């Protein structure tokens, strides 16, 4: 390592040392020294040029979810810094480590009204786990180390570093370029919950007749899928998930009830939770969606709650036992405790497999009836059913809010545990899934990646069709096309006596737009043709888009128990 580097070179070398392989971002004049360092140095990092900074952050988010590494995105000062923010907020609230790097006006220009001046530190402060603006180049190595430590330890989250233009040119000592290798991946430096609390939790579970597990996204973050399955099988316990918790068990597992709650849950899955005499929340915040506004379970049910973040425990439910620790490590210790005390388990416990079989049968029978219908416009159930039928086992589906999220949360079934479904549940911004599919495809190129979006979402993100073409990513895009912001219109129907206001827009030929970008495309309005088109699009090995003229959400049998009122 040379004794002296520029600030921009130091940043590149720090990212290289943290084993960063991809950066998602968009160029700007205040970022020129950083781009020049990326161009000149040999570092093994590929820069993915995006068409919007929001997209860059969403790509980094999904990339982090499928690689277990920190996702890195960057953008310039001013508008670029504001556009990067939505993705960092989403990642932070979803416990995903994403580093946002923004450039800024020179330190010497502050307060002199230069173009794009913005107090970025104040902007990002409440919305990231850690955040700083660099004033001196010598601070860069320490700032990067602090960011990676913050993002990967404890509750994972996003971080932001603001790097002024002149600081990128100032010198940094080469001896300061070192990293803590444990922070290259997440979760890092894990810890297990208190053993006494684990013993208490085991006793409560063994004394329960109808225990139910409800798992959030931290199970997959922690890599706890196998130990979760061992506990469920040992005790024959039904396992429910939040929307983000999908993949905690394989979708077809005989103990996997599926998603519960207001978005993706249905009456049979609600009944499982409602029948429990003990609920064990595992890396789940027990928020309004999962619990249907804290009604299921009700607050008289004994609760055990495991989370890496102590602030979630006892926030919404009186909790008998709180377990603060890493999901994988804590469940491993809990399994040992349960297995060694199995002989004292209460008699006449519920048959979890029978409970799940009954709930799934009641859930999927009406779904399959609708999925086989040739009604027009095409029903969303048919789309999900055909993707279940033809997608490879290791496929990764990225879904936007609106029509895709409830349908795919309820009915998409991956045969494998792990991260095979991604959606932005924290803030639910439209325009997420196409960019997320790009990040997932770059992070896991061996998996078929699918973006499912409504036509409202397509309008937010269509510029990234060029990105998909430029990098020749064989992503399948499904546009559920119904010319409406469906979630809002369905809420107006439910809560406002069908007073529809400013929610409908004109039909767009999304297939033609994709074709202009060089993407293979189909438009389908006849349900009889849909199966052959989906099969062809999956098998073509190229970027592909299917524009499906679909039933509007307000007219559909959507798995949503309560619309906004």
Eight-class DSSP state of 192: P
In this prediction the pTM is 0.97
Instruction: Give, in degrees to the nearest 5, the angle at Cα 11 between 6 and 12.
Output: 100
- Using CA atoms of 228, 234, 238, 241 in order, give the dihedral in degrees to the nearest 10: 0
Which pLDDT score is estimated for 2?
58
Q: How many CB atoms lie within 10 A of CB 335?
A: 18
Which string of DSSP letters, residue by residue, matches 445-499?
TTS-EEEEEEHHHHHHHTTHHHHHHHTT---EEEEEE-SB-HHHHHHHHHHSTT-
What tens digit of pLDDT does each residue of 203-228 get?
Answer: 999 999 999 999 999 999 999 999 99
Which pLDDT score is estimated for 283?
98
Q: How many CB atoms lie within 10 A of CB 437?
A: 29
Q: What burial class does residue 111 get, using C-beta atoms within 10 Å of its C-beta: 0-12 exposed, 13-18 middle, 19+ buried?
A: exposed
CA nearest 303: which of 286, 319, 327?
A: 319
Per-residue pLDDT band at 110 (split at 50, 70, 90):
confident
Contact between 101 and 53 (Cβ < 8 Å): no
Q: Can you tell me the distance from the alpha carbon of 410 to that of 412, in angstroms, rounded to the nearest whole number?
A: 6
Cα-Cα end-to-end distance for the chain? 61
Which pLDDT score is estimated for 123?
97
Q: Phi/psi at 328 (nearest 5 deg)?
A: -65, -50
Q: How many CB atoms lie within 10 A of CB 393?
A: 11
Contact between 148 and 99 (Cβ < 8 Å): yes
Contact between 166 and 114 (Cβ < 8 Å): no
Share of the chain above pLDDT 70, in %: 99
Contact between 415 and 393 (Cβ < 8 Å): yes
Which pLDDT score is estimated for 3?
86
- Using CA atoms of 281, 286, 289, 291 in order, give the dihedral in degrees to the nearest 10: 70
Q: Can you tell me the distance from the alpha carbon of 261 to that of 291, in angstroms, rounded to the nearest whole number?
A: 5
The residue length of the chain stands at: 565
What tens digit of pLDDT does each residue of 14-71 get?
Answer: 999 999 999 999 999 999 999 999 999 999 999 999 999 999 999 999 999 999 999 9
Contact between 140 and 11 (Cβ < 8 Å): yes
The CA radius of gyration of the chain, in Å to the nearest whole number, is 24
Q: Phi/psi at 99 (nearest 5 deg)?
A: -100, 120
What tens digit of pLDDT does each residue of 255-298 get?
Answer: 999 999 999 999 999 999 999 999 999 999 999 999 999 999 99
What tens digit of pLDDT does each residue of 359-375 get?
Answer: 999 999 999 999 999 99
Instruction: Give, in degrees to the nearest 5, the angle at Cα 415 between 431 and 70.
Output: 50
Read off the pLDDT of each residue in 477-485 and give the average, rounded to a whole number.
96
CA nearest 72: which of 2, 136, 16, 146?
A: 16
Q: How many CB atoms lie within 10 A of CB 267?
A: 12
Q: Can you tell me the distance from the alpha carbon of 326 to that of 285, in angstroms, rounded to the nearest whole number?
A: 15
3-state secondary structure of 181: helix
Contact between 59 and 68 (Cβ < 8 Å): no
Element (H, E) at 356: helix 352-371
Q: Can you tell me the distance from the alpha carbon of 184 to that of 178, in angstroms, rounded to the nearest whole number?
A: 12
Contact between 386 and 531 (Cβ < 8 Å): yes
Q: Can you tell me the distance from the alpha carbon of 151 to that of 421, in angstroms, rounded to the nearest whole number?
A: 22
Mean pLDDT of the chain: 96
Which string of DSSP letters, residue by residue, matches 107-164?
GGGTTS--TT---HHHHHGGGSSEEEE-SSGGGHHHHHHHHHHHHHBSS---EEEEEE
Which pLDDT score is estimated for 564?
73
């Amino acid at each position: 390592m040379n004794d002296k580097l520029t600030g921009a070179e130091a940043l590149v070398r720090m990212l290289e040392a943290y084993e960063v392989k991809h950066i998602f971002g968009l160029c700007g004049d205040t970022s020129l020294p950083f781009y020049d360092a990326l161009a000149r140095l040999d570092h093994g990092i590929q820069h993915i040029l995006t068409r919007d900074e929001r997209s860059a952050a969403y790509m980094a988010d999904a990339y982090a979810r499928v690689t277990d590494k920190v996702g890195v995105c960057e953008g310039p000062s001013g508008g670029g810094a504001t556009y990067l923010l939505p993705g960092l907020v989403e990642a932070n609230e979803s416990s995903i480590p994403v580093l946002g790097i923004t450039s800024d006006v020179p330190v010497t220009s502050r307060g002199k009204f230069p173009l794009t001046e913005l107090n970025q530190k104040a902007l990002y402060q409440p919305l990231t786990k850690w955040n700083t603006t660099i004033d001196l180049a010598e601070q860069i190595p320490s700032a990067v180390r602090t960011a990676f430590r913050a993002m990967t330890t404890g509750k994972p989250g996003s971080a932001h570093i603001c790097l002024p233009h002149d600081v990128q040119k100032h010198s940094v000592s080469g001896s300061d370029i070192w990293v803590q290798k444990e922070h290259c991946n997440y979760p890092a430096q894990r810890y297990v919950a208190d053993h006494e609390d684990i013993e208490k939790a085991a006793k409560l579970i063994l004394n329960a007749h109808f225990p139910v597990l409800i798992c959030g996204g931290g199970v997959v973050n922690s890599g706890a899928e196998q130990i979760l399955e061992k506990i469920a099988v040992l005790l024959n316990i039904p396992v429910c998930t939040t929307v983000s918790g999908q993949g905690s068990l394989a979708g077809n597992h005989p103990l996997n009830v599926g998603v519960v709650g207001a978005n993706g849950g249905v009456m049979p899955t609600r009944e499982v939770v409602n029948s429990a005499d003990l609920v064990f929340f595992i890396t789940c915040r027990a928020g309004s969606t999962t619990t249907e506004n804290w009604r299921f379970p009700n607050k008289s049910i004994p609760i055990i709650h495991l989370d890496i973040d102590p602030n979630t425990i006892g926030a919404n439910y009186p909790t008998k036992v709180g377990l603060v620790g890493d999901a994988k490590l804590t469940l491993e210790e809990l399994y040992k405790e349960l297995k060694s005390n199995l002989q004292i388990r209460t008699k006449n416990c519920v048959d979890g497999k029978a409970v799940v079989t009954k709930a799934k049968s009641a859930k999927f029978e009406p779904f399959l009836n609708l999925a086989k219908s040739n009604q027009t416009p095409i029903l969303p159930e048919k789309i999900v059913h055909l993707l279940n039928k033809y997608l490879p086992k290791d496929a990764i589906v990225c879904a936007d809010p609106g029509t895709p999220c409830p349908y795919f949360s309820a009915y998409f079934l991956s045969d494998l545990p792990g991260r095979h479904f991604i959606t932005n549940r924290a803030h639910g911004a439209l325009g997420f899934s196409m960019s997320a599919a790009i990040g997932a495809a770059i992070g896991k190129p061996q998996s078929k990646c699918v973006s499912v979006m409504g036509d409202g979402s397509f309008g937010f993100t269509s510029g990234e069709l060029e990105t998909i073409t430029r990098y020749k990513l064989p992503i399948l895009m499904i546009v559920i096309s119904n010319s409406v912001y469906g979630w809002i219109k369905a809420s107006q129907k439910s809560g406002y006596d069908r007073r529809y206001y400013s929610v409908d827009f004109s039909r767009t030929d999304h297939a033609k737009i994709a074709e202009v970008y060089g993407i293979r495309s189909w438009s389908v309005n006849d349900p009889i043709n849909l199966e052959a088109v989906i099969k062809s699009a999956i098998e073509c090995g190229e970027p592909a888009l299917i524009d499906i003229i679909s039933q509007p959400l307000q007219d559909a049998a959507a798995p949503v128990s309560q619309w906004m009122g």
